C-alpha cells in the first residue's frame, strides 16, 4: 500500500507559495538537471581529453628536465671533486714552499747569530788564553 500512496502522491496538486496556479504533475528535477548539463559535459569531453594529454606531456617533460638536472649536477659534482684534489695538492705545495722559505730564513738568521758568536769568541780567545797562561805561570812560581 505504501507504493500506491507514493504513486498517488505524484498526482497531487503542486504549487508554489503565492497565488494559485494551475494544477500539474511535479517535474523530475534530477532528470531535468542531467539533461541540461549533459550537452555541456559532452562539449567539454574534447577539452578534458586535451587537458589529459597536456598533463601527460607535462609529466614527461618534467621527468626529462629532472633527469637532465641530475646528470648536470653529477657532472658539476665530479668536476668539483677533481678540482678539489688539484686545489688540495696546490695548497699543500704552497704551504710547503712557504714553510721552506720560513725555514731558510730561520736558518740564515741562525747562521748570522753563529757568525756573531764565533767572531766574539775569536776576539775573546786570545785574551782568555793570555789570562790562563798568566795564571799557570803564577801557580808555577809559587813554592
DSSP 27: P
Domain ranges of the chain: 34-141
Please give the Cα distance from 73 to 75 (Å, whole number). 5
Phi then psi dihedrals of residue 122, to 5 deg: -65, -35
pLDDT digits (tens, 9 = 90+) for 16-59: 566 665 665 556 677 777 878 888 888 888 988 999 999 999 99
pTM of the full predicted structure? 0.41
Give phi and psi for 54, each to the nearest 5.
-60, -40
- How many whole angstroms separate alpha carbon 119 and alpha carbon 125? 10
DSSP class of 12: S
Whole-number Å distance between alpha carbons of 110 and 105 = 9
Closest to 24 in 3D by CA, of 12, 39, 37, 38: 12
128 band by pLDDT with thresholds 50, 70 and 90: confident
Amino acid at each position: 500500500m505504501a507504493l500506491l500512496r507514493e504513486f498517488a502522491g505524484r498526482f497531487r496538486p503542486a504549487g508554489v507559495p503565492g497565488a494559485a496556479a494551475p494544477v500539474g504533475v511535479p517535474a523530475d528535477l534530477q532528470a531535468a538537471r542531467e539533461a541540461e548539463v549533459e550537452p555541456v559535459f559532452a562539449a567539454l569531453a574534447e577539452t578534458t581529453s586535451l587537458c589529459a594529454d597536456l598533463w601527460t606531456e607535462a609529466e614527461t617533460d618534467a621527468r626529462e628536465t629532472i633527469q637532465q638536472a641530475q646528470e648536470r649536477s653529477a657532472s658539476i659534482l665530479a668536476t668539483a671533486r677533481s678540482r678539489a684534489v688539484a686545489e688540495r695538492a696546490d695548497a699543500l705545495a704552497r704551504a710547503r714552499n712557504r714553510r721552506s722559505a720560513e725555514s731558510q730564513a730561520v736558518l740564515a738568521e741562525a747562521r748570522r747569530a753563529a757568525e756573531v758568536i764565533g767572531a766574539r769568541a775569536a776576539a775573546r780567545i786570545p785574551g782568555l788564553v793570555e789570562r790562563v797562561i798568566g795564571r799557570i805561570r803564577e801557580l808555577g812560581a809559587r813554592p
